[in-house]
Chains A and B, each alone.
With several copies, the nearest count.
Chain A
Amino acid sequence: MEKTLNRIRPVSDPEAMYFLQVSWEKDLGAGFGITLSDGQCAWTGAVSEAEISREAADVEMNREKYVGELKKALIAGEESAGRYNFAISRDDENMECHFSYERNLKDGSFRLGSLKLQKVLSPVEVVKELIGYCLDCLGRLQSKTEHLQKENERLFRCWSDTEKRLEKCVEAKEELEADLYNRFILVLNEKKAKIRNLQKLLNEAKESAAAAKYTR
């Protein structure tokens, strides 16, 4: 069961504040429940899948698009602030309340949907449930935050370690290059010394042969 809880102010009485809880199974488009409370009284109602289809047809909107609008109006909360209006009309005599929601446009508004809510006989249980729901969400979110915080610290350490290993690799590469060149030079210069020596001996042998030939 998915749930959201938001604060709303009815257009008919902007000073008043109500808490709107919407609940649904998997997909809002398959139907949803509404609980409305002013902190003292509470009303509940539901909108079925068929009613959603009918409302969508009434406003001549594609059903998927209509459900998208419902989500923004009823669930999104602060993100949709100002774009949707709510009207609450209480009928305490009949223990009812008429709740409607409309989309606010630049040049007017159009009704999205409405339903009749029944007054709850034991509103204190609803109030407790609302506060309890909030505390449970807070608890879960707190755990998630702590987990993310730990994960971030872990990722930072991993990144930091890898940066150090990269630095070491770059250093090692530079050291390897320098080391190899030093070794190569030693070996090459040994061979060059050998060559110089052999050339000297060859020159001496040639001079000796030339001198012997001259003597002869």
Chain B
Amino acid sequence: SPDTKEHFAREYDCYGDSYTADTDVTQLKEVFSRMKDNE
């Protein structure tokens, strides 16, 4: 829904990494793995 979209847009960047929650190796690896090669 538009609300959910807005919520995720506020909380996460377009690569799925949280703007505010600290990241760790596992989470960052997951973010990188989701990124398409042509990006």
A interface list, Cβ under 8 A from B: 178, 180-196, 199
How many inter-chain residue pairs (CB < 8 Å) link A and B?
49
Contact with A along B20-39 (1 / 0, CB 8 A): 11111100110110010001
In contact, A195 and B28 (Cβ under 8 angstroms): no
**Within the assembled complex, what's the spacing in Å between the Cα atoms of A180 and B33?**
10
Any A CB within 8 A of the CB of B6: no
- Shortest distance between the CB of B34 and any CB in chain A (Å): 10
In contact, B35 and A190 (Cβ under 8 angstroms): no
B interface list, Cβ under 8 A from A: 13-15, 17-25, 28-29, 31-32, 35, 39
Q: Choose from B19, B21, B23, B25 the contact partner of A194 (Cβ within 8 Å).
A: B19
In contact, A181 and B25 (Cβ under 8 angstroms): yes
In contact, B20 and A183 (Cβ under 8 angstroms): no
Question: Which 6 A-B pairs have CB atoms at the shortest separation, nearest pair first?
Answer: A190-B13, A183-B32, A189-B22, A196-B20, A181-B25, A195-B19
**Within the assembled complex, what's the spacing in Å between the Cα atoms of A183 and B28?**
10
Q: Kindly list chain B residues whose C-beta atoms are within 8 Å of the C-beta of A186.
A: 15, 35, 39
**Within the assembled complex, what's the spacing in Å between the Cα atoms of A191 and B18?**
9
Q: A192-B23, A199-B20 are in contact. Are A181 and B14 (CB under 8 A)?
A: no
In contact, A185 and B24 (Cβ under 8 angstroms): yes
- Shortest distance between the CB of A201 and any CB in chain B (Å): 12
**Within the assembled complex, what's the spacing in Å between the Cα atoms of A181 and B14?**
17
In contact, A188 and B28 (Cβ under 8 angstroms): yes
Q: A190-B13, A190-B17 are in contact. Are A183 and B25 (CB under 8 A)?
A: no
- Shortest distance between the CB of B27 and any CB in chain A (Å): 9
Q: Kindly list chain A residues whose C-beta atoms are within 8 Å of the C-beta of B17.
A: 187-188, 190-191
Nearest chain B residue, comparing its CB with the CB of A184:
B28
**Within the assembled complex, what's the spacing in Å between the Cα atoms of A195 and B28?**
18
